[in-house]
Structure 1
């Protein structure tokens, strides 16, 4: 099979849901449109929305595993995001609206651990998503690598545990680890692969239930001697990417 784009995902509110796309236009030097557009600052956060801030300032699946079970649907033209969770009623909000922010905080607190800093406010930084990297990154996953991790765990798990943007199929397992410093082409976009992604406890939680039920980190360590899965890349040439587009390694 020719290596190609199998899935495209974005996460409108960092760590609070994901949605599948058929295509996306990537812009040079930018994060994926509407990916991590907002982030939920907790009540001990120092972030104020004036600039990018590291993940420690935000509610996230590593500390609040039940967040992993949130799904999202967004309508950019209307500025709205709809969130669903197996323990909560569906909610639709405009994350930039103060009243809707308050409704969201009330909605998410019951699925947030009480022994951790609690969700407090939603922040947005102009012109970039609140990725885990201090540069505007796109995260890329290899479906064959995921299959090997699932085999080591002993059962099927969702690839969405890794919270990636682009899922590629038709590759050899772990081929992506050899791309650091290289450029790849997907559809009309060219990306430069910057680094591997070090994983955290968020990946141990089910995207269906939000319960920690699979030791992904131990599987990575015992199987391959590291806790890395997937790679971060930066867009260096704008273009549209859609499901089915082939992968071309340029250099």
Structure 2
């Protein structure tokens, strides 16, 4: 069976804003273009962007829930990002040369006792995704609805910070794709692993406040996984409405 792509999302600055796009071109061995292209290193790490490093080296929503309420708009031609937040308003800057602007703008969101945001780094080697390979995340709306129903409330898909959302398949069917090739429009990916979730998902993407026990809800299925991570093995342009399913 096949489903259809409903949403394509990228995150130009890791954990700082989300942006919907209409279409995207996937390339072998790469994440979505401009996805996690920058990250905010904190003052307890020497991360400089020259190599991939795990998420613990960066300021992220699991530690700073207020970041979840941020949206982004990227001007690719000038590498300029505009971020909006319900409490902070709007800021526009070039991460490569004006990173201090972002650090100052988000300072009030930082909880006490956490490593402070220190600098914006460009991911030189590859996108700063949470996987140790260049990944694209695939998210099933049916699985999302199953979580919402068990929790007893509607949830935004933005809690999961996924890349490609699809509908039309059974809940958790994506887990059966591990180790298999999946076709998305004209592109093909190899699904490598499930995505284990963290406290980031507890924060409401409209307010930034933790207001739902997502991890406890996932525990009722005997795991804390949502979505799968895939590696692009055949490139191609994809758009909302394209079919997705085992190749």
Question: d(CA) in 1 for partners of 2:200 and 2:109?
Answer: 14
The answer (yes or no) to whether the contact 2:50–2:125 under 8 Å persists in 1 is no
Deviations 1:112-146 (A, max 9, x none): 21220010001112252100111100011000000
Deviations 1:181-230 (A, max 9, x none): 000111111000000000000000000000000000000002x1100000
Question: d(CA) in 2 for partners of 1:163 and 1:183?
Answer: 23
Partner of 1:37: 37
Partner of 1:138: 136
Q: CA deviation at 1:89?
A: 2.2
Please tell me whether residue 226 in structure 1 is matched to residue 218 in structure 2: no
Matched residue SS, 1:33: coil
Partner of 1:83: 83
Picking from 108, 111, 115, the partner of 2:113 is 115
Please tell me whether residue 248 in structure 1 is matched to residue 245 in structure 2: yes
Partner of 2:23: 23
Matched residue SS, 2:52: coil
Deviating runs (4+, > 6 A) in structure 1?
A: none
Segments of structure 2 that go 5 or more residues without pairing to the other structure are none
Matched residue SS, 2:226: strand
Report 1:178-189 matches (<5 A): 178-189=176-187
Q: CA deviation at 1:148?
A: 0.5
Matched residue SS, 1:66: helix
The answer (yes or no) to whether the contact 2:8–2:21 under 8 Å persists in 1 is yes
The answer (yes or no) to whether the contact 1:194–1:234 under 8 Å persists in 2 is yes
The answer (yes or no) to whether the contact 2:52–2:125 under 8 Å persists in 1 is no
Question: d(CA) in 1 for partners of 2:77 and 2:109?
Answer: 29
Report 1:37-186 matches (<5 A): 37-97=37-97, 100-186=98-184
The answer (yes or no) to whether the contact 1:40–1:120 under 8 Å persists in 2 is yes
Question: d(CA) in 1 for partners of 2:103 and 2:112?
Answer: 14
Q: CA RMSD in A?
A: 1.0
Between the two proteins, the alignment pairs up a number of residues equal to 247
Q: CA deviation at 1:55?
A: 0.4
The answer (yes or no) to whether the contact 1:188–1:239 under 8 Å persists in 2 is yes
Question: d(CA) in 2 for partners of 1:163 and 1:102?
Answer: 24
Segments of structure 1 that go 5 or more residues without pairing to the other structure are none
Report 1:208-227 matches (<5 A): 208-222=206-220, 224-227=221-224
With normalisation by structure 2, the TM-score equals 0.98
With normalisation by structure 1, the TM-score equals 0.96
